[in-house]
């Protein structure tokens, strides 16, 4: 998937730095990546299944880190 305008929306210290980005999708198929999180046969860190979630549902879901979910809500919530 290709994107445009990646912007860091947050950084969290958890077993190292975790960075969270906002980007606009310009082409490709969501979740069809070839990265390690999809192709590594060792699944000791769990599995990865990207899903689209409507911004308005973030308040109702148990999302971690919560501070990132709250930043997303503040930035992108429909007026």
Write the pLDDT tens digit of every residue in 4-38: 667 788 888 888 888 888 877 788 877 777 777 67
Measured in residues, the chain has a length of 79
Tens digit of each residue's pLDDT (9 = 90 or more) over 29-78 = 777 777 776 777 676 766 667 778 888 888 898 888 888 888 888 887 76
**Every domain of the chain and the residues it spans:** 2-76
Is the pLDDT score of 1 beyond 60? no
Distance set, CA 33 to CA 8, 11, 37, 61 (Å): 20, 23, 9, 25
pTM of the prediction?
0.61
Specify the pLDDT at position 7: 78
Contact status, residue 24 vs residue 5, Cβ threshold 8 Å: yes
């Amino acid at each position: 998937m290709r994107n445009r305008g990646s912007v860091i929306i947050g950084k969290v210290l958890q077993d190292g730095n975790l960075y969270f980005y906002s980007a606009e999708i310009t082409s490709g198929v969501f979740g069809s990546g070839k990265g390690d999180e999809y192709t590594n046969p060792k699944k000791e860190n769990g599995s990865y299944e990207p899903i689209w979630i409507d911004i308005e549902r973030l308040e109702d879901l148990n999302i971690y880190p919560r501070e990132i979910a709250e930043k997303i809500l503040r930035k992108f919530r429909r007026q």
